[in-house]
Structure 1
Amino acid sequence: MALRNGRTRQAGQNGDGDVTRKPLGAVRRAQAITTYGVGAILAIEDQSYIVSGLDSWRVWPSDMIYEPRLQHWLRVAKFQLPPADEPPSGDGIRVRLFPEMYSCASCMKLQEFRRFGSPPGKSVCGACEKPLTPSRFVVACENGHLDDFPYFEWVHKKSDQTRGESGQTKHELTLESTGQTASLRSVVIKCSCGVRPASLEGAFGGGAMSALGIKCTGQRPWLGRDAKQPGCTAAPRTLQRGASAAWFPINRSALSIPPWSETLQQRLNPHYAMFGVLLDNDLPDTVILETIKKTDIMDDGRFTAEEVLSAVRRRRELEASALPDSDETVMFESANELREEEYNQLYDGTGGVGRDENFECVQAPGDGRALPYGLKRSMLVKRLREVRALQSFTRVAMPDPTGGDTRKASLAKGPVDWLPAVEVSGEGVFLAIDEQLLREWEQRPGPMRRAHQIWGNHTAILRERAERTGSTKPPGDITSPVTPRYVLLHTLAHVLINEWSLDCGYPAAALRERLYISDKMAGVLIYTATSDSAGSLGGVVAQGEHRKLHETLESALARTEWCSQDPPCMESEASGIDSLNLAACYACVLLPETSCETNNVFLDRAMLIGTPEDQSTGFFYKGM
Structure 2
Amino acid sequence: MALRKPDRNGRKAVPGGPVSKTPLGGVRSAQMITTFGVGAMVAVDDSSYVVSGLDTWNINEKDTLYEPRLQKWLRVNKFYGPPANDPPNGDGVRVRRFPEWYSCSNCHDLKPYKSFGTASATGTKCAACETSLVPSRFVMACENGHLDDFPYWAWVHKKNRPADDYTGDHKLELHSDGRTASLRSVVISCSCGLESSMEGAFGRRALELLGVQCRGRRPWLGAGLEEPHCDANPRTLQRGASAAWFAVNRSSLSIPPWSDVLQKSVDKHYTTLAAVVGQPNESAVIESLDWVRANQFTVEDVVKAVRQHQRLLAEEVEDEPARGLEATESFRLQEYDPLYYGQKPIRQGDDFECARPDDHVDVALPYRIGRSMLVKRLREVRALESFTRIEAPDQLSDRKRYAALSSGRVDWLPAIEVSGEGVFLTLDPDELTAWETSAGPAARGTSIRASHTRALAERAKRRGAVPAAGASESAISARYVLLHTLAHALINEWSLDAGYPAASLRERLYVSDRCAGLLIYTATSDSAGSLGGVVAQGSHARLQETLCSAINRVAWCSQDPPCMEAEASGVDSLNLAACYACVMLPESSCETNNTFLDRALLVGTPDDGQTGFFHHLLSDGA
TM category (shorter chain) comes to over 0.9
CA contact (8 A) 1:560 1:605 kept: yes
Structure 1 position 189, deviation (Å): 1.1
**Are the equivalent residues in 2 in contact too, given 1:140–1:147 (CA < 8 A)?**
yes
**TM-score, reference length from structure 2:** 0.94
2:87 corresponds to: 87
Decide which moves more: 225-234 or 384-393.
225-234
Aligned partners of 2:548 and 2:617 also within 8 Å: no
Uncovered stretches (5+) of structure 2, i.e. residues with no partner = none
Return 454-463 or 205-214, whichever deviates more: 205-214
**1:230 alignment partner in structure 2:** 228
How far residue 9 of structure 1 moved from its aligned partner, in angstroms, is 8.9
Q: Distance in 1 between matches of 2:295 and 2:160?
A: 81
1:358 paired to 2:359: no
Choose from 500, 506, 518 the match for 1:524.
518
Q: Identity across aligned pairs (percent)?
A: 57
Give the letter aligned to residue 71 of structure 2.
Q
Contact 1:363–1:378 (Cα < 8 Å) also in 2: yes
Give the Cα separation in 1 of the matches to 2:57 and 2:15: 18
2:211 is matched with: 213
Residue in structure 1 matched with residue 332 of structure 2 by the alignment: 339
- Give distance in 2, aligned partners of 1:429 and 1:169: 65
* CA distance in 1: counterparts of 2:149 and 2:256, whole angstroms: 49
Q: 1:404 to 1:452 in 2, by over 3 A?
A: farther
Aligned residue runs from structure 1 range 59-98, under 5 A: 59-98=59-98
> Does structure 1 conserve the Cα–Cα contact (< 8 Å) formed by 2:15 and 2:58?
no
| 3-state secondary structure, aligned to 2:269 | helix
The range that moved more, 490-499 or 433-442, is 433-442
Structure 1 residues 597-616: aligned runs within 5 Å: 597-616=591-610
- 1:125 is aligned to 126
Q: Where do 1:42-441 residues align within 5 Å?
A: 42-120=42-120, 121-157=122-158, 160-163=160-163, 170-194=169-193, 196-278=194-276, 284-300=278-294, 302-324=296-318, 326=319, 328-329=321-322, 332-364=325-357, 365-366=359-360, 368-400=362-394, 402=395, 404=397, 406=399, 407-441=401-435
- 1:463 Cα offset (Å): 1.5
Q: Equivalent of 1:464, from 458, 463, 467?
A: 458
Secondary structure of residue in 2 paired with 1:23: coil
Kindly state the Cα deviation for residue 286 of structure 1 after the two structures are TM-superposed. 2.5
Contact 2:396 2:467 in 1 (8 A): no
CA 1:441–1:77 in structure 2 vs 1: closer, same or farther (change >3 Å)?
same
Distance 1:547 1:213, change over 3 A: same
Q: Which moved more, 1:543-552 or 1:127-136?
A: 127-136
Contact persistence 1:332–1:481 (CA under 8 A): yes
Measure, in 1, the Cα distance between the counterparts of 2:340 and 2:405: 36
Pairwise CA RMSD: 2.1
Query: Contact 1:329–1:404 at 8 Å: present in 2 too?
Result: no
Deviations 1:348-398 (A, max 9, x none): 111341232110100122362211111111001111011111111111222
Deviates more, 1:139-148 or 1:311-320: 139-148
- Residue by residue over 1:31-64, the C-alpha shift from the partner in whole angstroms, topping out at 9 and shown as x without a partner, is 1111111011111111100000111112111110
Separation in 2 of the partners of 1:585 and 1:235? 34
CA distance in 2, matches of 1:425, 1:377: 23
| Aligned-residue offset at 1:468 | 3.0
Is the Cα–Cα contact under 8 Å of residues 55 and 416 in structure 1 kept in the other structure?
yes
- Tell me how many residue pairs correspond in the alignment: 613
CA distance in 1: counterparts of 2:265 and 2:16, whole angstroms = 30
Deviation sequence 1:134-188 (CA, Å, 0-9, x none): 001111122211111110111111x6333577x8772221112233322211111
Deviation at 1:430, TM superposition (A): 0.4
Query: Scaled by the length of structure 1, what TM-score is found?
Result: 0.94
CA contact (8 A) 2:124 2:132 kept: yes
Post-superposition shift, 1:251? 1.1
Q: What does residue 565 of structure 2 align with?
A: 571
Displacement of 1:233 in angstroms is 2.3
Is the 2:4–2:20 contact (alpha carbons within 8 Å) kept by the matching residues of 1? no
Contact 1:219–1:227 (Cα < 8 Å) also in 2: yes
Q: Could you tell me how far 1:132 is from its partner in structure 2?
A: 0.8
CA distance in 2, matches of 1:193, 1:38: 39
**CA distance 1:40–1:292, change in 2 (3 Å):** same
Structure 1 unaligned blocks of 5 or more: none
CA distance in 2, matches of 1:501, 1:19: 43
Change (3 A) 1:86 1:561: same
- Write out per-residue CA displacement over residues 489-520 of structure 1, whole angstroms, 9 at most, x where no aligned residue: 00000000000011111100011101001112
Asked whether the equivalents of residues 15 and 59 of structure 2 are also in contact (C-alpha less than 8 Å), the reply is no
Matches of 1:359 and 1:445 in 2, distance apart? 41
Whole-Å separation in 1 of the counterparts to 2:132 and 2:108? 11
Q: Is the 8 A contact 1:332 1:403 kept in 2?
A: no
Amino acid at match of 2:56: S
After TM superposition, give the deviation of residue 459 of structure 1 in Å: 0.9
The code of the aligned residue for 1:596 comes to C
CA distance 1:172–1:328, change in 2 (3 Å): farther
In 2, Cα distance between equivalents of 1:446 and 1:317: 46
**Paired residues of 2:396 and 2:456 also in contact (CA < 8 A):** no
Deviations 1:237-279 (A, max 9, x none): 2111111221111111111111111111122222112223446
Q: Distance in 2 between matches of 1:465 and 1:278?
A: 52
Of 39-48 and 202-211, more deviation after overlay is shown by 202-211
Q: What is the rounded CA distance, in whole Å, between the counterparts of 2:233 and 2:559 in structure 1?
A: 38
Q: What letter is aligned with 1:227? A: L
Question: Which whole-Å CA distance do the structure 2 matches of 1:250 and 1:164 have between them?
Answer: 38
- Cα 1:301–1:518 change in 2 (3 A) is closer
CA distance 1:474–1:299, shift in 2 (3 Å): closer
Shift of 1:576: 1.2
Give distance in 2, aligned partners of 1:16 and 1:351: 42
- Given that 1:328 and 1:404 are in contact with CA atoms closer than 8 Å, whether structure 2 keeps it comes out as no
